[in-house]
Amino acid sequence: MNVNISNQEGKTIVRLDGRLDTSNVEQFQQDIAPLMQGEKPNIEIDCTGMTYTSSQGLRMFLMMQKSVMSRGGKMVMIHMNPQVKEVFDITGFSNIIAIL
Amino acid sequence: MSSKCLFNKCLNKRSFSKRLSISVIGIVTSIFIVTLFVVGITSARIIEDEATRSTQYMLHGTISDIERPLNELEVQTSTVAAHVGLQIKDINTLDIISQNTVKMSEIIDGLAIIIPGATPSDEYIVYNYRDSEGEIHTRRQKGVGMMQSEWLQAIAKGRKPLWTAPYYAEHRGGGQEIPRVTTYGFPVFDKDSNLLAIVTSDLTIKWIEEKMASIRPYENSLASISCSEDVVIGIDDSIQLAQIRKAFAESEELRELSDDMRKGKDSIRRRIGKGRDMFFVAYGPLHNGWMLSISCYYRDVLKSVSIMNRILLILGLLEILLVFFSCRRIISKMTRPITTLSDAALNMAKGNFNADIPEIRSQDEMKNLRDSFVYMQNSIVDYIEELKTTTRANERMESELNVARNIQMGMLRSDFSQRLHALLVPAKEVGGDIYDFVIKDNTLYFAIGDVSGKGVPASLMMAITRAALRFVVGLNLPMDQTLERINKGVTDSNSNEMFVTLFVGRIDMVTGHMEYCNAGHNPIIVIPPDGEPYFLKAKPNIAVGVFLDFHYQSETLDLRPGTRIIAYTDGVNEAERSDGSQYGNERLLEWATQPTNRSLATSDKEVVEKLYDSVKEFADGNPQNDDITIMSITI
């Protein structure tokens, strides 16, 4: 899993590439640590390159969502491929995370 | 042990010192052979040149030594001849001249005055000679016909003096040793050029023979004077002479040589003949037409070279031996640390990690090697210690995990009925999957769930979930409320953002009416007795443990008798092969479509096992990376 974080016009763009599974979930947690601080974050997660997420990966997105909400910000996930979207749907996560 | 033997064997078979020594010897030997060859050839050339030069020098010296008496004799003879010309009528005077000359001359030891007559019978000869004791003998003879001899005829006709080839002076007679002489004939003419007399002087050639014998620049060298076709001074063995003639007749180069000699050329010819008999010859003419030659065999000339070569060869061999042994010694001494270190390595291989490594005093690569070796030894010792500690810790953790696994497995019911069976296989010692069921009267409560993640954290969440589940099911609430209560219980104890996907259902086993609620879990498969299997769609409730006050929505479905439902966790559909491909929903549905899997003749236990086998077969040995749970229920 490759994580690329950039800032554009006050928006934080997170580009994800590859699989998010047990082997790299810890690294991913470190990679997204900068997103867990700051007031009123505006985060857009581009999932174009993300091919798979395990339930531990889902937990990461849940943590981000909760963290963003507690700081009065917002987070959207975009360009999610259908297989990954299905996991979000089944677990009900698409109810609480904005997926465009 | 066997590897050690093998190692030692290799070491002895082709040791480094031996190989290096052999290489050095190879190089030294090659250089030596080339040197020997070059030195041999060069010195042979130099010695050959020197030998031919000195032989030629000797030849010229000898020629002038021999010619001096010959010239002297010629001068004396011509003086006598002048007197003879004046006193030709006076026989007595001629006799006195002859006698006096023989008496006085140191060279002439016999002198004849031959006066040819009109006929042979008129011929007159006066002859005086000195015998070996110095006594003078006189002979006067008439009508002997001596003028008929070829030599005197040649003088008479050629009108010039001539030498004879050496001959034995048998005509002197007497009981004494017959001397070998050569005779010079000088013709005397009158004013009208008529032959008056021929004066002949004898010269004993014993001294020439001695001289020839004394000329021996080398062993087996041969000096000789060839005076005519048949007469040679210096070779008195007739057999040897015959052999030389034969050789001259047969060999082209010897024929050329003999032509040269006849033409009176002064020269040298090298490398005549072959092998051991190869020789060179230096030759030069005397003024009377004789030819002096000195021949030397190369085997004698080059004797010094071959002796020198032999000495060089012996010295060289000794040197090579010396180099070989000293090389081996020096190299094996220098490489001894390698042997020592390899012994130490073998010692370490046996497990003796604290083996002493001998000190190396030299400040070179060997010292570096030794230091690196010691460093490696220390690192290994440290590493082993570390490994031991880690292993102990791991072992303790493992035994604790085994206990935890037993506890967790004990939480799962295994008293299945005819119409229900379940299987849970954790990926690690403990896992985060859960299943449970309770049968009250004719109602079956069942649940299947999956904690995010796996291992110890997931197993703790699983235990919490299971406790909540058991408690809430006892309250006999509708499924949506049941799930909300469980969610509250789990969320309260969840400070780590973990969540559980959970499917709960309640089936009236008489009517087949099912009420269910799916909290983010994989859809269960419904296999109707006479229709196609399908994934049961459910309202998108969120997983348990995420939001405290989430309102779950339940649904109902009427199942006809003979319907089979299969619940599972994502360890099934997300099982992976080594190429990264997943088992997938399509394959799962296809599996459910197979007649044996949907047939009621196949028990739920068999169905569960078959699905697990199918997943394992698909994974093809790829290690299981998530917990697998399968539950089958038949209405």
Give CA–CA dist B129/B146, Å, rounded: 17
- Beta bridge pairs of residue B275: none
Give residue B429's Cα distance to chain centre. Answer: 60
**pLDDT of B1 higher than 80:** no
Residues with Cβ < 8 Å from B449, sequence gap 6 or more? B433, B434, B435, B462, B465, B500, B501, B502, B503, B521, B544, B569
Give residue B608's Cα distance to chain centre. Answer: 69
- Subunit contact B543:A54, Cβ cutoff 8 A: no
Mean pLDDT over the full length of chain A: 88
pLDDT score for B10:
46
Q: In what order do the strands lie in the sheet with B628-634?
A: B420-425, B628-634, B564-568, B525-527, B534-535
Q: Does A96 touch chain B (CB under 8 A)?
A: yes
- Subunit contact B523:A90, Cβ cutoff 8 A: yes
Residues with Cβ < 8 Å from B495, sequence gap 6 or more? none
Q: What is the DSSP letter of B225?
A: E
Which residues of B are less than 8 Å from A92 in CB distance?
A: 519-520, 540-543, 546
Homologous superfamily (CATH) for A2-99: STAS domain (3.30.750.24)
pLDDT mean over B398-409: 88
Q: Does A90 touch chain B (CB under 8 A)?
A: yes
Scanning B429-488 for CB atoms below 8 A from A yields 450-454
Which residues of B are less than 8 Å from A90 in CB distance?
A: 501, 520-523, 540
Tens of pLDDT, residues B350-391? 888 777 777 877 788 888 888 888 898 889 889 989 999 999
pLDDT score for B249:
64
pLDDT mean over B388-414: 89
pLDDT score for B127:
92
Q: What is the DSSP letter of B624?
A: P
Query: Among B497, B550, B569, which would you mutate to test the A interface (most chain A Cβ atoms within 10 Å of its Cβ)?
Result: B497
Tens of pLDDT, residues B24-47? 889 988 998 998 899 889 999 999
pLDDT score for B11:
47
Which residues of A are less than 8 Å from B542 in CB distance?
A: 91-93, 95-96
Domain ranges in chain A are 2-99
**pLDDT of B91 higher than 70:** yes
Homologous superfamily (CATH) for B413-634: PPM-type phosphatase domain (3.60.40.10)
Query: Which of B453, B519, B546 minimises the CB distance to A55?
Result: B453
The third-level CATH classification (topology) of the domain covering B87-204 is: Beta-Lactamase (3.30.450)
pLDDT mean over B505-529: 92
The DSSP secondary structure of A42-92, one letter per residue, reads EEEEEEEEEEEE-HHHHHHHHHHHHHHHHTT-EEEEES--HHHHHHHHHTT
Which residues of A are less than 8 Å from B625 in CB distance?
A: 21-22
Q: Is B277 helix (H, G, I), strand (E, B) or coil?
A: helix
pLDDT mean over B139-145: 85
| B276 to B217, B221, B270, B394, B547: CA distances (angstroms) | 18, 14, 14, 92, 119
Query: What are the helix (H) ranges across B513-599?
Result: 570-573, 584-593, 595-598
Tell me how close the Cα of B451 comes to any Cα of chain A, in angstroms. Answer: 8
Helices and strands (H and E) in chain B: how many: 17, 22
Which residues of A are less than 8 Å from B519 in CB distance?
A: 92
- Subunit contact B521:A90, Cβ cutoff 8 A: yes
**pLDDT of B514 higher than 50:** yes
Which residues of B are less than 8 Å from A89 in CB distance?
A: 540
Q: What is the DSSP letter of B541?
A: B
pLDDT score for B588:
92
pLDDT mean over B116-133: 86
Name the pTM for this structure.
0.52
**pLDDT of B440 higher than 80:** yes
Q: How many CB atoms lie within 10 A of CB B48?
A: 18
**B625 vs B536, higher pLDDT:** B536
H helix or E strand, kind and range, residue B94: helix B91-104
Taking CA–CA distances from A61, the nearest residue in chain B reads B497
Domain ranges in chain B are 87-204, 350-411, 413-634
